[in-house]
Copies of this chain bind each other. A is one copy, B any other.
Amino acid sequence: MAFTLEEIVRRFGGEVVGNAAQRVVSLAPLDQAGPQQLAFLANPKYLSQVETTAAGAVLIGADDLAKLASRDARNFIVTPNPYAYFARVAQAFIDLAAPKAEPGVHASAHVDPSAQVAATAVIGPNVTVEAGAVIGEHVRLDANVFVGRGTKIAAGSHLYPGVTVYHGCRIGERAIVHSGAVIGSDGFGFAPDFVGEGDARTGSWVKIPQVGGVSIGPDVEIGANTTIDRGAMADTVIDECVKIDNLVQIGHNCRIGAYTVIAGCAGIAGSTTIGRHCMIGGAVGIAGHVTLADYVIVTAQSGVSKSLRKPGMYTSAFPAIEHRDWNRSAALMRNLDKLRDRIKALEAAVAAQPSPGDD
């Protein structure tokens, strides 16, 4: 469970400066790393730590390496993106250390005879796979996962314990879905069928059947207890490499563009389209039937009620201040029209004054 620097660059790219035969056994921050550990410099403000680290080697950009006073007796892997490189190497160490799950279907799992399960898939305890479902190569379904009829889980995906995917959905290659996530629940749609007003109102809500599915692209990650509703007629669509945090709600018939990231507790109402490479902050709320352009950033806790057609950063949240100060300003805010009226009255009064040069 060790790699030489040469082995690392052969697999992940970059260039060794120093001793390519140096072995590393794990990763650590610059200020904590020892002689068998690999550290990384992602932020130039920690450059001085590179001078003093005991790390066996440091991942570094060429520019930062050039700034070092001395590189003697030190080893580096030079790469344009040390942070991403670090992430990839760290994953390799984890894959080495993690216990290998045996392919096969646990005796307590319920797999319908008409479902297709790849021989390399790992199906855990109490998993249910319904009729016609397709489970790809190397897929891992942990304990208590439910896969509804006709749903397809593509190769290399990992569904953690207790994930539920309703019928008629598709999950792309290498997806990671965390526990408690629910994919394909009914969208929230009801036709009002009421007659009369007030206490005399009669009638009811009529459920709109939700017959679309959810279609999720490759390399998507979905957080714990996140919910993604199935579409009403067509599918709800999550494009490739979208990353979604915990407790996020995505309504029916949304489309989330590739590479977009959505932080925890955000909620996106139905039929909304979000572009590619967007960043949606934590607890952001986005109304239904709006469109966000590519490269839109919405800061945490903001609310989007209309389409945002231009890339850029959007905000509507206030930071908390001391309660008493806030309340004073909030009271004035609710009466801004009165302040404006007083300004208007002043403007009229001043306009009616003889000007200084009138005499």
Contact = CB atoms under 8 A, between A and B. Distances in A.
Interface of A: 29, 81, 83-84, 86-88, 90-91, 94, 99, 106, 108, 110, 124-126, 128, 131, 142-144, 146, 148-149, 160-162, 164, 166, 176, 178-180, 182, 185-186, 188, 190-194, 198-199, 201, 204-209, 211, 219, 221, 223-225, 227, 229, 233, 241, 243, 245-247, 249, 251, 259, 261, 263-265, 267, 269, 277, 282-283, 285, 287, 294-295, 297-306, 308, 312-323, 325-330, 332-337, 339-340, 342-343, 346-347, 349-350, 352-354, 356
A224 B323 contact: no
A333 B346 contact: no
A188 B245 contact: yes
Copies assembled: 3
Which 10 pairs of residues, A with B, have the shortest CB-CB distance?
A: A84-B193, A313-B323, A265-B267, A185-B224, A332-B336, A182-B224, A84-B191, A314-B320, A316-B320, A146-B161
A226 B87 CA distance: 27
B322 A326 contact: no
B343 A336 contact: no
Contacts of A316: 317-321, 326
Given A164-B162, A164-B180, A188 B285 contact: no
Among A182, A191, A342, the one with the most B-chain Cβ atoms within 10 Å of its Cβ is A182
